[in-house]
Structures are given as C-alpha cells and as structure tokens.
Amino acid sequence: MKELMEEFIGYLHSKKNVSYNTEISYQRDLKKLEEYFEKKKIGRWEDVSETDIQNYLSKMREENFASATISRNIATIRAFFQYLLRQGIIAEDPSENLKPPKVEKKLPQTLTVQEVDRLLGMPDQSTAKGLRDRAMLELLYATGMRVSELIHLKISDLNLQMGYVICHDANKERIIPIGNVSRDILATYVEKVRDFFLKNKKETALFTNCQGRVMSRQGFWKILKGYAAAAGIQCDITPHTLRHSFAVHMLQNGADVKSVQEMLGHSDISSTQMYLGFNVVKMRDVYMKAHPRR
C-alpha cells in the first residue's frame, strides 16, 4: 500500500505541481488512512470498499475532527482513488459517492497593526540571533509569503537595491516588493549577521538556524511563539497569522484585491476576496462610533 501512496505523491509533485503544503497534507492524510486499514486487516487498496471509507470517516466524526479536516481528507481520498482508477489498479472508485460536510467559512485569525508592531519589536537587535529573527518576521509580514516559502529563500532571491524578493511556489515564482523598513533590516542582517550563522560558506539559504543548517518550519514556529508570548499576544498565533494580517492590513489601507492576490500567490481570486470580510467589520466599527443615529 505504501508503494502506491508514494507513486501518487510523486505524481502530484512532478505532474500536478502542487504546493509543498498541499503535498504534505496529502501524505499525512493518506498515512492515517493506510494505518486505519492496516488495523482492519485490509492490505490492498483494491480491497477497499465504499463502506470501509465511510467507516473511516465515521471514526473521524466520533473523534470530533473539524468539518474542514474531514472535508480535506475526503478531497485527498477522492484524488488518490481517482489516480488508482486511471492507472488501472482498481476497476471501480469506492470514493465516488463521498460528499464533504458543509464547512462554515470563518474569517481567519489576524493581528491588529499594534499587535504586529509589538511582535516585530520583540527581538533583541543587539544580538545576531535577534537581528536574524527580526529580519525573518519583518520579511514575512512585509510580503505575506508562506513560511515554507520563507525558509526556502536563497540569498540570490533577495534584491535589496531594487527592493523586492523572488518567492518560489512549486514550479512558479512571483516577485514581491518589500518596503523600506524590512529592506533596511534585511540589509543589516545580510551585511553583518548572516555569515555569523554559516558553517559552510557555500550555503545559499537566506536564513539558517544556529547550527548553520536551513531554518525548518518547526524552528521558525518555535521562534514566533516565543516572541508572541513575550509581546503578550493572546491568540493562538501561527506563521499563517502574519500572512492573513498582511492581506487584511493591505486591503484596509487601500490596496486592490488583484494586487494582493498576486503578492499572496493565490491562483483563484476568491481566496483573496475572503479578506474583504474584514473591511465590512472595520466599516461597521467606524459606523457605530461615528454615525449620529447609530
């Protein structure tokens, strides 16, 4: 079963050009599915029935998995069995009739501008580590890029003279402008601090950890959590919180949706339009404070 899963992930990587995050999600979902079937003594994908899959999804509901998580698993399962069908490995698709649960769309968690200011002010810039951390946080908020894109940046992707960074997503790339504040911090980091962390002078990564290796997602997450706690930020912050905050703050300050879409790397503009909901919330607050007959 593992071999077919690996073939499918390889197909997604080489043929479908899915993002790194999507690829990891597929791998995680399929691994859990395989472990469930192994416990049920089902050793071949050809032997999986619609009832078997429905039982797996029922188990997820019993364990109180969120509707969004179940929905994503159904999408993974359907994509995988469609692949097996096209490859002639199965004669019928047992996932064909699966229907995802209705997912209530919620506005993502964001920070206020004041909270972002506190967060970005936490690193101690008198130390090499603090300057590196400030540079990473500033760049993430300045561009709205994903953390996976941030940690895979190379020094050659940064053009400080022209004020932009080249961001890579699967086989696509996009150019994102960076403002003067983040550009100044990055210039100081590159000129005075980056070499301090390098063990191999041929290392091309823009950001490395204290051992001189490429910064990991987990490593950055830990750094972010530490500064968020020090800044007194109460929400459950993730690297994506800064991405959401970037989008909302840009739109609230007059940026057009199309430009924000391009900077975020959204293929579908509807993904970006979600953030317009925050403008409605802001307008309502302004109205309630200012309208004489509120």
- pLDDT, one tens digit per residue, over 186-199 is 999 999 999 999 98
By CB neighbour count within 10 A (0-12 exposed, 13-18 middle, 19+ buried), where does 106 fall? exposed
Interacting residues of 254 by C-beta distance below 8 A, sequence separation 6+ = none
Q: How confident is the model at residue 16 (pLDDT cuts 50, 70, 90)?
A: confident
101 alpha carbon, distance to own chain's centre: 23
CA distance 29 to 21: 12
In angstroms and rounded to an integer, the radius of gyration of the C-alpha atoms of the chain is: 22
Q: How confident is the model at residue 280 (pLDDT cuts 50, 70, 90)?
A: very low
For the segment 228-232, the average pLDDT, to the nearest whole number, is: 94
Q: How much is the mean pLDDT over the chain?
A: 85
Distances (CA, A) of 249 to 32, 130, 212: 38, 25, 34
> Tokens 């530490």 belong to which residue?
226
Tokens of 46: 């050809």
Q: What is the dihedral of CA 205, 206, 207, 212, to 10 degrees?
A: 40
Question: What pLDDT was estimated at residue 55?
Answer: 94
* pLDDT tens-digit series, residues 59-82: 999 998 888 889 999 999 999 999
Question: What pLDDT was estimated at residue 192?
Answer: 93
pTM over 0.85: no
Question: What pLDDT was estimated at residue 288?
Answer: 54
Question: What pLDDT was estimated at residue 277?
Answer: 60
Residue (of 46, 54, 52, 51) closest to 81 by Cα position: 46
Question: What pLDDT was estimated at residue 14?
Answer: 80
Alpha-helix residue ranges (DSSP H) falling in 144-268: 147-151, 180-188, 194-197, 217-230, 239-252, 257-264
Q: How much of the chain exceeds pLDDT 90, in percent?
A: 49
Tokens of 206: 């823009």
Contact 15, 100 (CB under 8 A): no
* pLDDT tens-digit series, residues 126-168: 999 999 999 999 999 999 888 989 999 999 999 999 999 998 8
CA distance 165 to 274: 25
Residue (of 7, 64, 54) closest to 33 by Cα position: 54
Q: Is the pLDDT of residue 290 over 60?
A: no
* pLDDT tens-digit series, residues 171-225: 678 888 898 999 999 999 999 999 999 988 889 999 999 998 888 889 999 999 9
